[in-house]
A = this chain, B = another copy of it.
């Protein structure tokens, strides 16, 4: 049905009406006092969301731009870095690092499995010469629905003492606890079309004092993504380059909604959505791709064996106007992914699971009795 599409993908995520309407306001001048007030308010909100007293800088770019900025501002060609990779976005960290001539050592895990913190520990402890300049990882691996144990890996980085921790929190920030200052995360990158509940076009980089110290000696070339410029201008509630004014309106409206809900409630909601989704998928006899305890709070990947993943996605879209994500790269056609990130409620999970059951029935699936998925989800949601 036209205009009925429901997004259950890991981005763009659903956008609240107040945020959509905020975007339809006429832009104002980005060098005006009125815009400076918006800049001040959203910067304050971003620090709250990141649980940091340090800088959170706003870029006009997609999440990959923030990732790249997170690397090129703090490292130099030839620097030795450990890059965790267990999915498409971990791979991307490695690609960006290689594009800039870093000496990349990839620590990988199979797609669908979390990174093993012990391998990081081993590599970091062996580095008595302190040649490792950074450990670069993806927190929630969007391509597989796996969450990596950032807290533990970061503890080993802290024990090392020299290396920076650089993290992609694109689908974890605003979905689960990422206490930037408490954990001492040096560089944290994220994007607007995710937990932020606004359309794509903005990305964010939180930068701590240790990273700023590295910035002073980092020699990779940069201009548009030179975060020093953004920091300097943010101090005056301004931006070095024209900011996407209407997306700032959206950010302002969305941060208001998030602050009204509160961080703990936001995290609890995402945990509940994940648990209900996983329970429902299991009740339907469909194999989960991420093991128990490593499921992302924002996305659940399913690897069906008796039905075709793409057929499920196709019927969900055509018959029920629900967009699910497919697999990426070598997982194309093998998995489907249910997004439950951002402006997603308990009701949405019941809706998606109900439609999934109807879809399975249409496909002649014999693995479960219709209703078992919704029943399992309802049990969790009603707790």
Interface locus among A61-69, A80-88, A107-115, A153-161: A61-69
Interface locus among A14-22, A48-56, A282-290: A14-22
Contacts of A241 in B (CB 8 A): 62-65
Q: Is A172 an interface residue (CB 8 A)?
A: no
Known: A5-B28, A221-B220. A242 touches B63 (CB 8 A): yes
- Check A200–B244 contact: CB distance below 8 A: yes
Which of B9, B24, B221 is within 8 Å of A24, CB to CB?
A: B24
CA–CA, A20 to B27, complex, Å? Answer: 9
Contacts of A24 in B (CB 8 A): 20-21, 23-24
Interface locus among A94-102, A119-127, A133-141: A94-102
Known: A12-B27, A27-B193, A99-B221. A200 touches B243 (CB 8 A): yes
CA–CA, A30 to B325, complex, Å? Answer: 11
Which of B7, B23, B96, B242 is within 8 Å of A11, CB to CB?
A: B242
- Check B29–A223 contact: CB distance below 8 A: no
Chain A residues 19-49 with CB under 8 Å of chain B are 20-21, 23-30, 32
Q: Is A174 an interface residue (CB 8 A)?
A: no
How many whole Å from A9's CB to the nearest CB in chain B? 5
For the complex formed by this chain, how many copies does it contain in all? Answer: 2
How many whole Å from A147's CB to the nearest CB in chain B? 21
Contacts of A200 in B (CB 8 A): 27, 30, 60, 242-246
Contacts of A28 in B (CB 8 A): 5, 7, 12, 323
Q: Which residue of B lies closest to A101 (CB)?
A: B221
Query: Which residues does A use to contact B, with CB under 8 Å?
Result: 5, 7, 9, 11-12, 14-15, 20-21, 23-30, 32, 60-65, 68, 95-96, 99-101, 191, 193, 199-201, 220-226, 241-247, 323, 325
A9-B29, A193-B242, A201-B201 known; 9 other A-B pairs, CB under 8 Å?
Answer: A5-B26, A5-B28, A29-B323, A60-B61, A62-B244, A63-B241, A99-B223, A200-B242, A244-B244
Q: List 10 A-B contacts (CB under 8 A).
A: A12-B27, A15-B27, A65-B241, A100-B223, A191-B242, A193-B245, A199-B247, A200-B243, A221-B221, A244-B247
